[in-house]
Amino acid sequence: MNKDEAKEEILRLSKEINYHNHAYYVESNPLISDYEFDKLLEKLQELEKQFPEFSFESSPTKRVGGDITKKFQTVAHTFPMLSLSNTYSEEEILEWENRIKKLEDGAIEYVCELKYDGVAIGIRYENGFLTRAVTRGDGTQGEEITANVRTIRTIPLQLRGDFPQDFEIRGEIFMPLASFLKLNTEREENGEQLFANPRNTASGTLKMQDSKVVSERNLDSYLYGVYGNNLAFEGHFETVQKAGEWGFKIPLQQSRMIEKTDSAEGIMNFIHFWDKERYNLPFEIDGVVVKVNNYAQQKRLGFTAKSPRWAIAYKFKTERVETKLESVVYQVGRTGSITPVANLKPVQLGGTTVKRASLHNSDQIKRLDLHVNDFVYVEKGGEIIPKIVGVNTEKRTKDAGIIQFIESCPECNATLIRREGEANHYCPNEDACPPQMKGKMEHFISRKAMNIDGLGAETIDLLYEKGLIKTSADLYDLTFDQVVELDRMADKSADNLIKGLVESKNIPFERVLFALGIRFVGETVAKKLAKHFKYMDALIAAKFDDLTNVGEIGEKIAISLQQYFLNEEHLHFIDRLKKAGLQFEIKEKVGASNKLEGKSFVVSGVFNAFSRDELKELIESNGGKNVSAISNKTDYVVAGENMGPAKLKKATDLGIAILSEDEFIQLINK
């Protein structure tokens, strides 16, 4: 391939990938499988590697990040990013609307939008390409975070359609609730301190020096304010709709995320609707923004020193309730982290009954000056997690006792420790403390780790109580006769469990490494370590500098790994897993083909030899396409146990071939 051909192919691939990226992330309408998308991206990356002179700044390969920014440059805003005036009062919204009518003659239209609880951003496009992204800062200048913003998949790197040649679009970057919960779950598994709320997490993520880490946090955005000289639009609402045609993710009119009205009644209807419906959104909002739609009217209304006269924000009151703190209990996590939990007198909050609230650590208890039998104020942190935010000291009674943080583990009585620079207390008795031992085994068998069929937390508990297992290595010494004697364990269940243990020996090295539960070694870190060192013995023998030379492996992770491997018990544990037949080296994938090319598959149910993810990977590696729903375009359904009857009926009615797990393997092996 010569240079001209390479350049043309790079441009073609970029256009195709951008098209599918927009369909997936902005329109939520994937047109190809993840495998097909990844193959397109790999092809583009390979071409850019061969012809670096054609690796453009707008290339979709830049989405994965990798730029390191030591210091963010301060940049002046071309158009000031003023804050809006806020109110919690509906009366003040009505007064504002009445004042607008007195100041401006003629008909007035208002645009009602959601007030996203995220980070305000201004993004500049020149000739259709993203050139700069700047935070709000103090309104007159902010920090340039272009490299990090480029990783957000709902923000286009290149526009389409009849866009202005030079303009800025503004909006909000936020962390979806699902991404926030996933991130905190991973941090909890790794023994790290949890993030407080999605907004602060989004803000902190955008200031990270490594854009590759930013790309893995799954930030999202809505963009809705277009600024520029001589823009050919009459009103804000129409401009937002047009921005959607250019490729931006905009508030959806059909979902009532943006509405146009000509009355105070319409404004109030929008506010009241979202005051209730905000809890059903997949992201956080903290209010509603109302703007005069017409740009000419906006210009005449002008600005105060701090904010525009033509816009106002109505902020929802954070729902807060008062209830009694009845007691504090302490939970031990699988890493030994001690979490104090407040038991509350049940109270309604945000549509749910709240009985418990995490107190996080001893510092939080001291800061709140909590006493047992106090009347406390409870809110939902991030509209998800109940948290105690204050104490009604006026109601404090004589029987209210100061909460003294425990000094010994509530499960094994070991003296707790608190590491320097960390907020949490820990039980150091990791090899004999029951919750830690069972927690490690539950992590070991979890879906993203060993994914052992027929084995769950209840069975782990039973096996532990019967004295049959103390570590995950003991699982591979279990016999059918031992398992079938357990309560509620029939012959078939016992047989499935033993088969599941045998099949888990095929789980690849990176997941085995993750399953060990080494502190700070999450799923992503385990993949990077396995890919780099390839063998467990090489990882064990690695020196500190060898570890920190691996991308994204910092000092904290390196120290944790070395401490883990210095423990003779841990080395003995790994040796037992090796002898049991688990994978402790990277194996190159074989068997890829195009046998299933042009065929689409739906995988449903529970399988014996493979997990659903493994079956889907087999389909894609052999040229097939995975689809989520059965339609007349589906060629095959791979059906396991407990497949939904509705899916089975639909496949039968449409005459789609239904394959068992064995029949699917035979199809590939033909």
CATH number for the domain that contains residue 654: 3.40.50.10190
Task: Answer yes or no: is 414 within a domain.
Answer: no
Distance in angstroms (rounded) separating the CA atoms of residues 87 and 66: 41
Q: Are residues 84 and 177 in the same domain?
A: yes
Cα–Cα distance list, 599 to 40, 251, 590, 647 (Å): 18, 36, 20, 19
What distance in Å separates the CA atoms of residue 121 and residue 223, rounded to the nearest whole number?
A: 9
Instruction: List the structure tokens of 27.
Output: 């329109």
User: How confident is the model at residue 661, as a pLDDT?
Assistant: 86
Residues 136 and 218 occupy one common structural domain: yes
Which residues are CB-neighbours of 489 under 8 A, at least 6 positions away?
459, 483, 497
Q: Is residue 69 part of a domain?
A: no
User: 90 and 59, same structural domain?
Assistant: no
CA-to-CA distance for 359 and 245, rounded, in angstroms?
47
Task: Please report whether residue 416 resides in a domain.
Answer: no
- Burial label, 20 (beta-carbon count in 10 A; 0-12, 13-18, 19+): middle
Domain that holds residue 377: 320-402
Q: Does 484 share its domain with 391? A: no
Rounded to an integer, the average pLDDT of 123-138 is: 93
- Who contacts 484 (Cβ-Cβ below 8 Å, separation ≥6)? 490, 491, 494
- Residue 587 clears pLDDT 80, i.e. is over it: no
Q: What is the mean pLDDT of the chain?
A: 89
Q: What is the pLDDT of residue 608?
A: 72
Residue 641 is given by DSSP the state: B
Q: Does 14 lie in the same domain as 122?
A: no
Give the span between the Cα atoms of 490 and 501, in whole angstroms: 17
Residue 536 is part of a domain; what is its CATH number? 1.10.150.20
What pLDDT, on a 0 to 100 scale, did the predictor assign at position 383?
A: 46
| Whole-number pLDDT of residue 522 | 87
Are 117 and 180 contacting, i.e. CB atoms less than 8 angstroms apart? no
Could you report the per-residue pLDDT of 467-493, keeping only the tens digit for each?
A: 999 999 999 999 999 999 988 888 999
Decide: 258 and 244 in contact? Cβ < 8 Å: no
Give mean pLDDT, residues 422-436: 92
**In the structure encoding, which two tokens stand for residue 165, read together?**
């040649």
| pTM over cut 0.85 | no
Looking at 49, 70, 101, 115, which residue is catalytic?
115
Q: Is residue 41 part of a domain?
A: yes
Is position 661 within any domain? yes
Residues 501 and 522 in one domain: no
At residue 564, the pLDDT reads 95
pLDDT one-digit tens code per residue, 147-168: 999 999 999 999 999 999 999 9
pLDDT, greater one: 597 or 262: 262
Q: Which of 580, 613, 635 is the last residue of a domain?
A: 580
What total of structural domains would you count in the chain? 6
Same domain, residue pair 496 and 538: no
Give the confidence band of 191 by pLDDT, cuts at 50, 70, 90: low
398 classed as catalytic: no
The tens digit of pLDDT for each residue in 490-535 reads: 899 999 999 999 999 999 999 999 999 998 898 888 988 998 999 9
Q: Is residue 412 part of a domain?
A: no
Kindly report, residue by residue over 308-321, the tens digit of the pLDDT.
Answer: 999 999 999 877 89
Residues 488 and 604 in one domain: no
Of 295, 315, 335, the one marking the end of a domain is 315
The whole-number pLDDT of residue 138 equals: 83
Question: Does 364 lie in the same domain as 218?
Answer: no
Residue 381 has pLDDT above 60, yes or no: no
Residues 571 and 495 both lie in one domain: no
Give the tens place of pLDDT for each residue, 72-111: 889 999 988 888 988 989 999 999 999 999 999 889 999 9
Cα angle 284-286-289, degrees, rounded to a multiple of 5: 115
The reply to whether 619 falls in a domain is: yes
Distance, in Å, from the CA atom of 529 to the CA atom of 564, rounded to the nearest integer, reads 15
Grade residue 34 by pLDDT with cuts at 50, 70 and 90. low
Q: How many residues does the chain have?
A: 670
Structure tokens at 262: 């000509």
Say what the pLDDT of residue 304 is: 83
pLDDT at 64: 61
- Reported as a single tens digit per residue, the pLDDT across 448-462 is 899 998 898 999 999
CATH classification of the domain holding 332: 2.40.50.140
Stronger pLDDT, 640 or 540, i.e. the higher one: 540
| pLDDT the model gives residue 611 | 75
Q: Looking at residue 23, which CATH number applies to its domain?
A: 1.10.287.610
Domain-ending residue, one of 456, 473, 506 = 506
Residue 595 lies in a domain: no
Q: Are residues 118 and 256 in the same domain?
A: yes
**Residue 129's Cα: distance from chain center in Å?**
27
Tell me the CATH number at 201. 3.30.470.30
Q: What is the mean pLDDT of residues 227-242?
A: 92
φ/ψ region of 320 (left if φ > 0, alpha if ψ in -120 to 50, else beta) reads beta
Q: How many whole angstroms separate alpha carbon 275 and alpha carbon 116?
A: 13
Question: Is the predicted pLDDT of residue 198 greater than 50, yes or no?
Answer: yes
- The arithmetic mean of pLDDT across residues 21-40, rounded, is 72
Q: Are strands 311-315 and 86-87 parallel, antiparallel or unpaired?
A: parallel
What integer pLDDT is reported at residue 613 of this predicted model?
76
Residue 135 and residue 280 in one domain: yes
Percent of the chain with pLDDT over 90: 57
Cα–Cα distance, 582 to 573 (Å, whole number): 12
